[in-house]
Chains A and B, each alone.
Chain A
């Protein structure tokens, strides 16, 4: 009886439940929507715009349309023919009158040094009225550089609408006129170095944070709550203190007349004040200080979950403290070590302010160059390409971090 009644009522009940659930889901999503829309406008779209700028290349085609068209089928091995020379002469003449030349000159100058001068001199010295059929001769007369394949290659590479020029440049690579990818010349190939330096500083600071953070996290987890809470304040206060305050403090302490050098000289350990700031040492010290709480907090939260009885069990089974630590405690603390290291590393490679204030010229990290090309030299394509490479690296690391943290809560549940 009851079972048949249920069966009759079932479809409508299920339908109603599903409808109610859908309503719930919509209502919940409606609450998330404002933030999502806000972030789309102030975060996702701007970053997508930056990524677009790293591959977009329209300036040269707008200023030199005929030249770009004449070079469309060019293979990049031999000099282009008379039509290309004629097109360039016509484009230059027109661009000079319209005052549009600087935009193209700037873009081509990113590619080949001295292009700006070449383009403006050529435009200025073009004969007027034009002499039909003698464009190649005239241009070669003005500058022999028009007789080089790479000079034309630069225009061909910048024909747009899309380019891999900036992304390749961010990795110290460039294309030759015939399209093969080669290493960029020595004087412009600095970015792999900068990326390497960024990762190196990030790794060193992460290691320093781990070495300094492990004992204190262990202590905080081991002490009774009343006392560990007190010590935790000493970790949290620097964490809440402004980055600029902490950086100021290190500038004041480490400068040549600063407190640290004063103590060193006074105790007779050194005769001359040491150079402790505006170099790599200063960057390591200040960044480790700023990022240390980000290591301590995840370590602490994992260590807090390790039951003390495990260590007691290990030693009652005859393990020495060192063995017990190595074989029992360390494997259990490892997820915290991983999470802390990744977090510190991700934050460290994005650092800009601290190295800019306590580092020297050779200690600037990738963020510095991104900001520099955005506001100082206005090479937005390169700034965007460097940003794109860095964004990719960060998102990959963040993905690993997400996995790690998720995995941790999973094993944590099973452990309990």
Chain B
């Protein structure tokens, strides 16, 4: 622990300073998210403190107004479909990449990860030109394809990280004990990499659920998602319903974070069982 046990007075001051600065930065990171939570329970229609009174009317609006319910439905449909696609494609690719020895591998890896690096607006514009003649703009299918492309790299990275600690000898052991390759995969590999696959899926879902640039360019009025609805909400008339939506999305993030942490622990425990 460097600095954990400060000895000289200079070190003590430096440590105090670090702690104070860090506290300020953490406050900067967390305060905005916490500050809008109470506004969603306001009974007034202005987003200002002090609150005139408490009510759940904005939550009621969020769950009943057609523009919000249809946005929620679209987000869930597109999110789940692209998560399934990205998880299957990404996990297979990660498994292949882990066993592939070739000089081409860095190039293939760069291609597979590039949707993460290329600015989303470029991907979105390219897809806009490409999808328009195919009739895929203003369709759920087009958005699912777009979000799958954006989310798949995250699955590849997460599953690859899990596979790094995976001992391929286990597969040989399984087949020497008479397991068919499929059985070996299902009974030995899958349980071990499942936490990685699951966290990849969570990453993919979060990516799709939060994505708004491709939605702005590709979606028609029928495909507007939650972030897209919030975007026009901020632009046009900022009503407290947005803060209700924000609170619900934040709760979802907390849920995702907790799930990720649980999966990470589980994966570490499982890998601890693997003899090295």
Q: Which residues of A contact B (CB under 8 A)?
A: 24-25, 27-36, 38-39, 42-50, 53, 212-213, 215-216, 218-219, 221-224, 231, 233-238, 240-253, 255, 257-259, 262, 289, 292-293, 306, 308, 310-312, 315, 320-322, 325, 329, 346, 349-350, 352-353, 357, 367, 370-371, 374-375, 380, 383-384, 387, 390-391, 394-395, 398, 402
The smallest beta-carbon distance between B138 and chain A, in angstroms, is 12
Q: Chain B interface mostly helix, strand, loop or mixed?
A: helix
Docked-complex contact B149 and A39, CB < 8 angstroms: yes
Docked-complex contact A248 and B36, CB < 8 angstroms: yes
Known contacts: A29-B100, A34-B93, A215-B22. The answer to whether A237 contacts B149 by CB under 8 A is no
The 4 A-B residue pairs with the shortest CB-CB distance, nearest first, are: A31-B96, A350-B119, A46-B126, A308-B2
Q: Which of A216, A349, A350 has the most CB of B within 10 A?
A: A216
Docked-complex contact B231 and A353, CB < 8 angstroms: yes
Docked-complex contact B112 and A39, CB < 8 angstroms: yes
How far is it, in angstroms, between the C-alpha of A289 and the C-alpha of B234 when the chains are bound?
A: 18
Docked-complex contact A247 and B234, CB < 8 angstroms: yes
Docked-complex contact A242 and B253, CB < 8 angstroms: yes
Other-chain contact of B230, A38, A244, A289 (Cβ < 8 Å):
A244
Docked-complex contact A39 and B130, CB < 8 angstroms: no
How far is it, in angstroms, between the C-alpha of A222 and the C-alpha of B1 when the chains are bound?
A: 5
* B237 at the binding interface (Cβ < 8 Å): no
How far is it, in angstroms, between the C-alpha of A241 and the C-alpha of B178 when the chains are bound?
A: 47
Q: Which residues of B contact A (CB under 8 A)?
A: 1-4, 8, 10-11, 14, 17-19, 21-22, 25-26, 28-30, 32-33, 35-36, 39, 46-49, 89-90, 92-93, 95-97, 99-102, 108, 110-112, 114-115, 117-131, 145-146, 148-149, 152, 156, 206, 209-210, 212-213, 216-217, 226-227, 230-231, 234-235, 238, 242-243, 246, 249-250, 253-254, 256-257, 260-261
How far is it, in angstroms, between the C-alpha of A76 and the C-alpha of B152 when the chains are bound?
A: 51
Known contacts: A32-B92, A350-B120. The answer to whether A245 contacts B25 by CB under 8 A is no
Docked-complex contact A28 and B125, CB < 8 angstroms: no
Docked-complex contact B111 and A216, CB < 8 angstroms: no
A-B contact pairs, 10 of them (CB 8 A): A25-B100, A35-B89, A215-B25, A243-B227, A244-B231, A251-B234, A252-B35, A367-B119, A367-B121, A387-B126
Docked-complex contact B121 and A252, CB < 8 angstroms: no
Known contacts: A35-B90, A244-B231, A390-B122. The answer to whether A222 contacts B2 by CB under 8 A is yes
Docked-complex contact A259 and B35, CB < 8 angstroms: yes
Other-chain contact of B216, A236, A246, A252, A371 (Cβ < 8 Å):
A371
Docked-complex contact A245 and B33, CB < 8 angstroms: yes
**Chain B hits for A312, CB < 8 A:** 2
Docked-complex contact A240 and B253, CB < 8 angstroms: yes
Docked-complex contact B108 and A36, CB < 8 angstroms: yes
Docked-complex contact A47 and B48, CB < 8 angstroms: no
Docked-complex contact B129 and A32, CB < 8 angstroms: no
Closest A residue to B252 by CB, please name it.
Answer: A242
Docked-complex contact A244 and B212, CB < 8 angstroms: yes
Closest B residue to A310 by CB, please name it.
Answer: B2
How far is it, in angstroms, between the C-alpha of A241 and the C-alpha of B93 when the chains are bound?
A: 28
Known contacts: A244-B212, A321-B10. The answer to whether A352 contacts B97 by CB under 8 A is no
Docked-complex contact A38 and B152, CB < 8 angstroms: yes
How far is it, in angstroms, between the C-alpha of A41 and the C-alpha of B254 when the chains are bound?
A: 34
Q: Chain A interface mostly helix, strand, loop or mixed?
A: helix
The smallest beta-carbon distance between B218 and chain A, in angstroms, is 10
The smallest beta-carbon distance between A365 and chain B, in angstroms, is 10
Closest A residue to B13 by CB, please name it.
Answer: A321
Docked-complex contact A257 and B1, CB < 8 angstroms: no
**Chain A hits for B96, CB < 8 A:** 27-33
How far is it, in angstroms, between the C-alpha of A237 and the C-alpha of B156 when the chains are bound?
A: 23
Known contacts: A45-B130, A215-B18. The answer to whether A371 contacts B117 by CB under 8 A is no
How far is it, in angstroms, between the C-alpha of A233 and the C-alpha of B258 when the chains are bound?
A: 9
How far is it, in angstroms, between the C-alpha of A398 and the C-alpha of B260 when the chains are bound?
A: 27
**Chain B hits for A231, CB < 8 A:** 22, 26
Known contacts: A35-B156, A46-B123, A223-B1. The answer to whether A234 contacts B217 by CB under 8 A is no
The smallest beta-carbon distance between A292 and chain B, in angstroms, is 6
How far is it, in angstroms, between the C-alpha of A384 and the C-alpha of B128 when the chains are bound?
A: 11
**Chain A hits for B90, CB < 8 A:** 35
Known contacts: A249-B32, A387-B121, A391-B118. The answer to whether A380 contacts B129 by CB under 8 A is yes
Known contacts: A39-B112, A43-B149. The answer to whether A374 contacts B93 by CB under 8 A is no
The smallest beta-carbon distance between B41 and chain A, in angstroms, is 14
Docked-complex contact B100 and A28, CB < 8 angstroms: yes
Closest B residue to A212 by CB, please name it.
Answer: B25
Known contacts: A32-B92, A32-B108, A215-B22. The answer to whether A248 contacts B99 by CB under 8 A is no
The smallest beta-carbon distance between B115 and chain A, in angstroms, is 5
How far is it, in angstroms, between the C-alpha of A35 and the C-alpha of B151 when the chains are bound?
A: 11
**Chain B hits for A29, CB < 8 A:** 96, 100, 102
